[in-house]
């Protein structure tokens, strides 16, 4: 396995080859498409930048297949 986990979005063309080659589904395509920055060096993402924590999770794109999947904070009262 790799010792350094860096993804350079400045060179990425979003082809999906890295997603197909990843053996453990650690790399996925998501809804993070707004990657505009003023400095090209900010497009280099490290492992800590790429990890999804509860603070980084977006509530806007949560999929609910039934009422049981919806948290109480999202149910209409």
pLDDT, tens digit, for every residue of 1-50?
Answer: 677 888 888 898 888 888 888 877 777 777 767 778 899 999 998 888 87
Number of domains within the chain = 1
Domain that holds residue 37: 1-77
SS3 state at 7: strand
Report the candidate in 24, 28, 29 with the shortest Cα–Cα distance to residue 1: 24
Residue 39 confidence (pLDDT): 93
pLDDT band at 53 (very low <50, low <70, confident <90, very high): low
Report the residue count for the chain.
Answer: 77
Whole-structure pTM over 0.85, yes or no?
no
Rounded to 5°, angle at Cα 8 from 7 and 14? 85
């Amino acid at each position: 396995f790799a010792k350094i986990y860096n993804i350079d979005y400045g060179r990425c063309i979003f082809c999906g080859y890295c997603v197909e080659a990843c053996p453990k589904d650690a790399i996925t395509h998501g809804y993070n498409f707004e990657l505009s920055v003023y400095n090209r060096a900010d497009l280099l993402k490290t492992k800590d930048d790429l990890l999804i924590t509860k603070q980084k999770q977006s509530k806007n794109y949560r999929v609910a297949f039934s009422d049981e999947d919806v948290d109480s904070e999202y149910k209409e009262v």
